[in-house]
Amino acid sequence: MNPKSVNRIATTVINSLVGVVVALLVLLISYILVTGLPHMSLDFLLSPSQSYQAGGGIRDQLFNSIYLVILTLIISFPIALGAGIYLAEYAPKNWIVDVIRTLIEVLSSLPSVVVGLFAYLVFVIKFQVGFSIISGAVALTIFNLPLLTRNIEDSIKSVPDFQMQGALALGLSKWTTIIKIIFPSAIPGIITGIILSSGRIFGEAAALIYTSGQSAPVLNYANWNPFSPDSFLNPMRPAETLAVHIWKVNSEGITPDANAISSGASAVLILVIILFNFFAHWIGKKLYKKFTVGEVK
């Protein structure tokens, strides 16, 4: 067969497959937004949820999701940063490091429900932490740590080798070179990975059902003391997130407007995740220009 014809056929097949994937994503997102946006309003976002009456909102669930993302990143980022720097710059090329990389890959492929059950048995039951935000944050740290570590490692490795070699030739230590030269150059990729992982954390549900719980106690937003039981900043309280709320309303919700609440909350969840992704790409380009093009000028 003519090579040009083969190339044309292959290109057509590839474009068709990409079109199918894009069409499925557009249809799914469009359906969620079309059914959910009519139920979204400022009152819906700022009102507490209702267990039995109609007209409830998602205020506390939305805050719990954001709080959980922040707490998870506070726990996971320092660990992932240290592991990523070690694997990129210090790890020797031997079978032990290969095993570590394999374990990271295995951990990143674990279903979130398995991670949730593990965290439930260890933290909720064994250490008697109970259903709490901190238990959910630890579960999401286990769930998110491999991907964040790999992102940081790849971002550091993407920095050209001549920067390290030039700094070492000038007499700088390896650690100083990493902190002062390599890490700033890798910041755009690291920030992008953090934002994308935040979107993944925000939409997680299975692991949180067993750790942060399915209850949404009324929060006192005027109490900033994190050690107070009714404070909205208390990490030891149970916290139903937005994704868990959607699952709960669909599975066992008895409010008269359960379908409307579920559709509206799903639209909010999708919009937030889309914003996370767009913001990640936007800030990644901005930081890349700042740390590369700006320095050249």
Predicted TM-score (pTM) of the model is: 0.87
Q: Could you report the per-residue pLDDT of 260-296, keeping only the tens digit for each?
A: 899 999 999 999 988 888 887 787 777 767 665 444 4
Quick one: tokens of 152?
Answer: 């940081």
Look at residue 291 in the predicted model and tell me its pLDDT: 61
The correct answer on CATH 1.10.3720.10 for the domain covering 41-296 is: yes
Instruction: Answer whether 56's CB lies under 8 Å from 245's CB.
Output: no
Quick one: tokens of 126?
Answer: 């064994």
Domain ranges of the chain: 1-39, 41-296
Tell me how far apart the terminal alpha carbons of the chain are, to the nearest angstrom: 51
- The identity of residue 187, as a single letter, is I
Q: Could you report the per-residue pLDDT of 75-93, keeping only the tens digit for each?
A: 999 999 999 999 988 888 8
Instruction: Answer whether 206's CB lies under 8 Å from 116's CB.
Output: yes
Look at residue 57 in the predicted model and tell me its pLDDT: 87
Distances (CA, A) of 9 to 17, 19, 169, 173: 12, 15, 52, 54
Q: Could you report the per-residue pLDDT of 109-166, keeping only the tens digit for each?
A: 888 888 989 999 999 998 988 899 999 999 999 888 888 999 999 989 888 888 888 8
- Is residue 297 scored above 50 in pLDDT? no
21 pLDDT tier (thresholds 50, 70, 90): very high
Strands (E), the chain: none
